[in-house]
Amino acid sequence: MSAALPEKGRAWAELKKEMQARGQNDVKWREGKTAVYVFNAGPEIAQVQKEAYTMYMSENGLGPLAFPSLKQMEEEVISMALSILHGPEGATGAMTSGGTDSITMALKTARDFARANGKAKSKANIVLPRSAHPAFEKAAHMMDIEVRRVAIDPKTLLADPDAMKAALDADTVMMVGSAPNFPHGVIDPISALGEVAAEKDVWLHVDACVGGYFAPFARMNGVDVPPFDFEVPAVRSMSADLHKYGYAAKGASSVLFRSGELYKHMPFDTDDWSGARMITPTLAGTRPGGAIAAAWAVMNFLGIEGYKEKQGLVCATREKIQKGVEALGCEVLGDPKLGLLAFRHPELDSYALWGKMLERGWFTSITTEPPSLHLMLSPFHAEVADQYLTDLEAGMADLRAGKTGEKREARYS
């Protein structure tokens, strides 16, 4: 498919109508039938996102001297994040465009920290559980860092601290735990990983892209959330996505560090060219002011009480669906505590069942190890949980009757 720039422009009314028509075949996330990619927290939050974003849509986070308002909002977003993640005195960080950006910058910082301390000068490696996000591999690929994937516990689906310890060596610049991991929605034993990291003096990063703005409020609501953040002394950095359970507009994430001494290895700073000195905290140069403004606005709009209400609703919905799928004979993987859920039926093809749900308008994710259906729930899913379970039961009946569905190819694209 190709398109040439038109000789003459078209009226916005015409273009808007075409754009709306093109979206007719997109997933129906506004109806709650999508449990991946979109975090629907309701119309009030959507209004805050849009209005805050458009107020600063032309401003550029690249220029803090030109736009001190953005600098102040970003600093306050990071401060608020650290306040719920046990950030110690001196902890700091920056906003990024998303989880991959946050993870990339954390790995770059850990690598440069290691080099500054006489380690990993000619080669480096990262040790991570099998369940850790592929963004680590993408970042390692860009930096020519060896990736050492370590098998997870087959029963709990958690990272294995002893196995990860065995994979460490003098060239390891980072080890990783997830809170929670994406495939199974379970929180790795960060305290135990911290003991290994402290013993071996290795940088421990917690990927809380999913749970960073969820787990603290779940804990406030009484959920038994184990230590996972800077509460664990060996944790040196974290990634936490604002545009997931922080309910900010895309793309907004945060990368956080225990101290300024660690953080100082992240920014890029150069004056070796014909222009003015350039300092950028993250991989991006231009950074959309709208994303910073919307994150700040949503966090202040919700506050602790608002987040507790939203995350409590998500947990209750997950528990309801969990009980529902178990009543249908499905097995839930691991011990999920937040908003993610993976499950499978012992007798039915998971991907065929995914296809039957797609026929009924549901677009969700999958887990490949083991093959299972995967949900990442939002507050709006409380309104459609019963329908999901009804459709799931009908899809299972179809498969038992020999009516096969479309199988899901195991990839994101």
Provide the domain limits for residue 263.
49-299
For residue 394, is it within any domain? Answer: yes
Is residue 177 domain-shared with residue 316, that is, in the same domain?
Answer: no
For residue 23, is it within any domain? Answer: no
Domain count, the chain: 2
For residue 407, is it within any domain? Answer: no
Predicted pLDDT at 319: 97
Predicted pLDDT at 258: 98
Mean pLDDT score, 203-223: 97
Is residue 337 domain-shared with residue 354, that is, in the same domain?
Answer: yes
Q: Grade residue 243 by pLDDT with cuts at 50, 70 and 90.
A: very high
Task: Choose the final residue of a domain: 243, 275, 299.
Answer: 299
**Treating both helix axes as pointing N-terminal to C-terminal, what angle do 385-400 and 350-359 enclose, rounded to 10 degrees?**
120
In SS3 terms, 354-394 reads as HHHHHHCCCECEEEECCEEEEEECCHHHHHCHHHHHHHHHH
Is residue 366 domain-shared with residue 329, that is, in the same domain?
Answer: yes
DSSP 38: -
Task: Choose the final residue of a domain: 254, 284, 299.
Answer: 299
Compute the distance between CA of residue 317 and CA of residue 167 in angstroms, rounded to an integer: 38
Query: Do 396 and 345 touch, CB atoms closer than 8 A?
Result: yes
For residue 412, is it within any domain? Answer: no
- DSSP E strand boundaries for 99-192: 125-129, 146-150, 172-178
Is residue 310 domain-shared with residue 271, that is, in the same domain?
Answer: no
Token pair 């994150």 in the structure block, residue: 295
Residue 357 has pLDDT above 70, yes or no: yes
Predicted pLDDT at 26: 85
Kindly give the pairing relationship between strand 365-368 and strand 371-376. Answer: antiparallel
Compute the distance between CA of residue 342 and CA of residue 344 in angstroms, rounded to an integer: 7
Query: What is the tens place of the pLDDT at every residue in 264-289?
Result: 999 988 889 999 888 888 888 888 89
Compute the distance between CA of residue 110 and CA of residue 115 in angstroms, rounded to an integer: 9
Query: What is the tens place of the pLDDT at every residue in 147-162?
Result: 999 999 999 999 999 9
Q: Which of 234, 274, 290, 277 is nearest to 258 (CA)?
A: 234
Task: Choose the final residue of a domain: 299, 327, 350.
Answer: 299
For residue 171, is it within any domain? Answer: yes
Residue 87 has pLDDT above 50, yes or no: yes
Predicted pLDDT at 413: 44
Q: What is the pTM of this model?
A: 0.93
Is residue 316 domain-shared with residue 356, that is, in the same domain?
Answer: yes
Q: Grade residue 408 by pLDDT with cuts at 50, 70 and 90.
A: low
Query: Do 410 and 350 touch, CB atoms closer than 8 A?
Result: no
Is residue 262 domain-shared with residue 364, that is, in the same domain?
Answer: no
For residue 13, is it within any domain? Answer: no
Kindly give the pairing relationship between strand 253-257 and strand 331-332. Answer: unpaired
